Structure 1
Amino acid sequence: MAVGELVEWLEEHGAPGFTWYVKRLSGNDTLANGSHQAGPYIPRDFLFEIFPALNRREVKNPDVRFNLYLDSHSDHREVRAIWYNNRFHDTAAARGRDETRVTGFGGGASALLDPESTGALAVFAFSRPPAEIADCHVWVCRHETEEEIVEDRVGPVEPGKYLIWPPAQGGLFGLPAQTPVRTSCWLDDAEIPAEWRVCFPSGADIIRRAVELRPDTALDPDRRLLRRRECEFEIFRSVEQAIELPHITAGFTTIDAFITRAQTILQRRKARSGHSLELHARAIFVEERLVEGTHFVHQPESEPGKRPDFLFPSAAAYHDGSFPRERLRMLAVKTTCRDRWRQILNEADHIPAKHLLTLQEGVSESQFREMTQAGVQLVVPAGLFEKFPKPVQPHLQTLESFISDVRLLPLGAR
């Protein structure tokens, strides 16, 4: 299908009466890691809202059948939403199941379960006609251009996260209508610096605050990275709400003013998503006693017009023809890599083996083989290994291992 058909699909299924659930498909959602629970995860409370008949605690394992149209791949199936509530019915199952699943997709024949869809952005558009069971229209993005079109509308969607559109409890652009209960890094109004209200803080400013709130220096780099990313996201959303919510609740006098504000919010979110992981990695390198300019350099020019995220040990070593090539390393950083990994192949021509740090929750075995054959080594936080197919897991490198590798590289030419 042409890109224009996705635009038309978004317009048709973005009309009043539709509620979107948007996520990136993980290895647990698809068949990539061999999970016996294959099928996209959809939160229980969301399914209860869409299918009230599912929320029947007095019934053991209640279910609802509904029509699911996978419009991106011209596929239609009757699927089943079920609440496994054994915990409340079996006296011997104090730790029994209490979760919802959607089943009946037909195995690998469905693009939703196809291992090659791992990492893809998927939009589930639920409609709920009066007095009828909702049906669901789905679009699984097949390439980066389609993902950009979706994210231009709803904002960035990161691995392991999901969003509901429009928000169920009011508030525009995904902003909560009320301040949520503070967990760890959400900033109260009094904690937000005055200068941040005048000029939205840079990604580096927010990450510095995340490091203050989550120093975690006793943790390995992998766990530190994942915890700080969560913390940074909370900080960002709390500042976003403090700045934007007053403008939203005050209303707009023109449609153009509304659109301008919305675009500002969406673009800021995309900018944050695009650079966050890179800045976190840089901070951790420094904490791990890698000296910038001596052991690594951030966004140097490797060749005219080419700027890899990180070179090791330095740009000078990279451009020194006498420096052994086997002592050079390049690290690219991409939150998702399903389509984007090919972009790094032309970076740092002198380094055939490319390292790629990602937070994507799994890849298919065939895509991993393609990456490996192209000389790409995936660097993945240890806590995400289980999201990958078992045959792939032994070939992943942790961030801690990568840092140990570059720390041991001799810095001299000979």
Structure 2
Amino acid sequence: MAVSDLTDWLGEFCAPGIALCVKRLSGNDTLANRTHQAGPYIPKEFLFRIFPAINRTDEKNPDHWFELAVDSHMDVRQVRAIYYNSKRSEGQKNGRDETRLTNFGGGASALLDPESTGALTIFAFPLDENGAAIRCHVWVCRHETEEDIAEERFGPVEPGSFVMWSPDQPGLFPPFAARPARCWLEPAEIPPAWLAQFPTGADIVRKTVELRPEHGTPPDKRLLRRRDCEFEIFRSVEEAIELPAIRVGFTTLDDFIARAQTVLQRRKARSGRSLELHTREILIEERFREGVDFQHGPQSEPGKRPDFLFPSQAAYRDPGFPKARLRMLATKTTCRDRWRQVINEADRISVKHLLTLQEGVSEAQFREMTQANVQLVVPEPLIAKFPPAIRTDIMTLESFLGDLRMLNHL
């Protein structure tokens, strides 16, 4: 089936009787980091529901073959869902315990193409009367516009998270996390003012720091742990506020749509600023003084506002302040298409530092970034998801902070 328009495709496959899994392809899913894991990772909780025959440990690596069509790229092939179960079936301490889709024939498939790393991807599985998958249709978003269309339907989809829905499961599955942050707030634990008016992103980040101070934890790990915690807090407050209204019901379709749009826009706003707000907190904790050592949300030139300038907007605008001592940092959860947005920020600064949580880029895209003087900054635990050839050229958050400290002592 050839489908040229994502909007039409969503209309056909976001429908009753179809299970959905939405994610961003990581460097371990594609061939970007050359780990040869041979296909996209899909959580066991999802695949076991729609391919129950692979949920077993009495046989090594059980699999199921089926037809998969990547409709965005007009590619159809027989692939398999496989449960790599050596950790459980053979008791191997370092064995595997994960499910993937494999047999895509190498980089010719859009799902394994290194250039697809970071792409928002939708897997749609039509189900039979018993709830088992018949086949799969996939859309790999080809550019930012398609990702925006998809996120209008599903809400923000961040690297390492999943949106999953199955007809036998009411609502959307919560985003999958291997290590729950356990920051969920029960209604009695939520500040009363938050229930009257939804808290700002800064309010939730401050609560996150309270629950996860992480004293002594390196900045890279602290950032990732707090991001997980913050999202749990956000979802718990969202549920406490929205669920009662949903249970009461709506008198008109317009009322329902308006409420749904409010929820979706709130999620997008949170996703857009979360990384930036967490970064500010870590800078302060690492003893960088706001207004002296860094400035958050300054104006470098008219109409240009990088997320962070170092040491300050005043220093940046002072022609006598050495350019070599200036730095800027942009924060973007994903960078596959959005990295180009930072090129025109802060004209005086030649190298633009970009902090991202995207789980890998292709070597070709990394070269393009480097040629444009964009320096990737990636939390240390995520660097293993990037190609080995470029890992040493990526800065961690901690190494970026070390560079700032050196500048402060010049």
TM-score, length-scaled by structure 1:
0.93
Secondary structure of the structure 2 residue equivalent to 1:346: coil
User: Shift in Å at residue 200 of structure 1?
Assistant: 0.3
Taking a change above 3 Å as real, the CA distance of residues 384 and 254 of structure 1, as seen in their structure-2 partners, is same
2:405 equivalent in structure 1: 407
Taking a change above 3 Å as real, the CA distance of residues 94 and 361 of structure 1, as seen in their structure-2 partners, is closer
Q: Please say if residues 154 and 165 of structure 1, whose CA atoms lie closer than 8 Å, have aligned partners that are also in contact.
A: no
| 1:54 aligned partner, one-letter code | I
Hey, what's the Cα distance between the residues in 1 that align with 2:59 and 2:216?
47
User: Shift in Å at residue 401 of structure 1?
Assistant: 1.2
User: Shift in Å at residue 38 of structure 1?
Assistant: 2.4
| 1:85 aligned partner, one-letter code | N
2:80 equivalent in structure 1: 80
Hey, what's the Cα distance between the residues in 2 that align with 1:255 and 1:289?
51
Hey, what's the Cα distance between the residues in 2 that align with 1:78 and 1:175?
30
Taking a change above 3 Å as real, the CA distance of residues 74 and 202 of structure 1, as seen in their structure-2 partners, is same
Taking a change above 3 Å as real, the CA distance of residues 100 and 303 of structure 1, as seen in their structure-2 partners, is same
| 1:234 aligned partner, one-letter code | E
Is 1:245 the equivalent of 2:246?
no
Secondary structure of the structure 1 residue equivalent to 2:389: coil
User: Which of 315, 318, 322 pairs up with 1:317?
Assistant: 315
User: Shift in Å at residue 52 of structure 1?
Assistant: 2.2
User: Shift in Å at residue 85 of structure 1?
Assistant: 3.1
User: Which of 214, 217, 221 pairs up with 1:219?
Assistant: 217
Alignment of structure 1 residues 380-395 onto 2, 5 Å: 380-395=378-393
Hey, what's the Cα distance between the residues in 1 that align with 2:391 and 2:22?
27
| 2:117 aligned partner, one-letter code | T
Secondary structure of the structure 2 residue equivalent to 1:186: coil
User: Shift in Å at residue 280 of structure 1?
Assistant: 0.4
Q: Please say if residues 295 and 407 of structure 1, whose CA atoms lie closer than 8 Å, have aligned partners that are also in contact.
A: no
2:70 equivalent in structure 1: 70
| 1:119 aligned partner, one-letter code | G
Taking a change above 3 Å as real, the CA distance of residues 133 and 22 of structure 1, as seen in their structure-2 partners, is closer
Query: Deviation string for 1:342-393 (max 9, x for gaps)?
Result: 0011110111110000000010000000000000000111111101000110
1:25 equivalent in structure 2: 25
Hey, what's the Cα distance between the residues in 1 that align with 2:167 and 2:281?
34
Secondary structure of the structure 1 residue equivalent to 2:123: strand
2:13 equivalent in structure 1: 13
Q: Please say if residues 124 and 136 of structure 1, whose CA atoms lie closer than 8 Å, have aligned partners that are also in contact.
A: yes
Q: Please say if residues 25 and 116 of structure 2, whose CA atoms lie closer than 8 Å, have aligned partners that are also in contact.
A: yes
Secondary structure of the structure 1 residue equivalent to 2:5: helix
Q: Please say if residues 295 and 311 of structure 2, whose CA atoms lie closer than 8 Å, have aligned partners that are also in contact.
A: yes
Q: Please say if residues 313 and 411 of structure 1, whose CA atoms lie closer than 8 Å, have aligned partners that are also in contact.
A: no
2:359 equivalent in structure 1: 361
Q: Please say if residues 175 and 241 of structure 1, whose CA atoms lie closer than 8 Å, have aligned partners that are also in contact.
A: no
Secondary structure of the structure 1 residue equivalent to 2:291: coil
Aligned length, in residue pairs: 405
2:226 equivalent in structure 1: 228
Q: Please say if residues 201 and 270 of structure 2, whose CA atoms lie closer than 8 Å, have aligned partners that are also in contact.
A: yes
Query: Deviation string for 1:48-69 (max 9, x for gaps)?
Result: 1111222344444322111100
Task: After superposing the two structures, state which structure 1 stretch, 355-364 or 217-226, moved more.
Answer: 217-226
Hey, what's the Cα distance between the residues in 1 that align with 2:354 and 2:322?
21
Q: Please say if residues 17 and 167 of structure 2, whose CA atoms lie closer than 8 Å, have aligned partners that are also in contact.
A: no
Alignment of structure 1 residues 114-263 onto 2, 5 Å: 114-130=113-129, 133-165=133-165, 169-171=169-171, 184-263=182-261
Q: Please say if residues 18 and 167 of structure 2, whose CA atoms lie closer than 8 Å, have aligned partners that are also in contact.
A: no
The gaps in structure 2 that reach 5 residues or longer are none
Hey, what's the Cα distance between the residues in 2 that align with 1:347 and 1:266?
29
User: Shift in Å at residue 46 of structure 1?
Assistant: 0.9
Alignment of structure 1 residues 368-387 onto 2, 5 Å: 368-387=366-385
User: Shift in Å at residue 134 of structure 1?
Assistant: 1.5
Task: After superposing the two structures, state which structure 1 stretch, 81-90 or 193-202, moved more.
Answer: 81-90
1:106 equivalent in structure 2: 105
User: Shift in Å at residue 229 of structure 1?
Assistant: 0.6
Taking a change above 3 Å as real, the CA distance of residues 330 and 36 of structure 1, as seen in their structure-2 partners, is same
2:331 equivalent in structure 1: 333
Overall identity of the aligned pairs, in %: 65
Runs of 4+ in structure 1 deviating by more than 6 angstroms, as ranges, are: none
User: Shift in Å at residue 184 of structure 1?
Assistant: 2.4
Hey, what's the Cα distance between the residues in 1 that align with 2:11 and 2:219?
43
Q: Please say if residues 359 and 381 of structure 1, whose CA atoms lie closer than 8 Å, have aligned partners that are also in contact.
A: yes
Secondary structure of the structure 2 residue equivalent to 1:391: helix
User: Shift in Å at residue 45 of structure 1?
Assistant: 2.0
| 2:159 aligned partner, one-letter code | P
Taking a change above 3 Å as real, the CA distance of residues 93 and 142 of structure 1, as seen in their structure-2 partners, is same
Secondary structure of the structure 1 residue equivalent to 2:375: strand
Taking a change above 3 Å as real, the CA distance of residues 119 and 284 of structure 1, as seen in their structure-2 partners, is same
1:299 equivalent in structure 2: 297
| 1:291 aligned partner, one-letter code | R
Q: Please say if residues 159 and 358 of structure 2, whose CA atoms lie closer than 8 Å, have aligned partners that are also in contact.
A: yes
Hey, what's the Cα distance between the residues in 1 that align with 2:188 and 2:257?
29
Task: After superposing the two structures, state which structure 1 stretch, 289-298 or 3-12, moved more.
Answer: 3-12
Alignment of structure 1 residues 274-285 onto 2, 5 Å: 274-285=272-283
Hey, what's the Cα distance between the residues in 1 that align with 2:383 and 2:174?
31
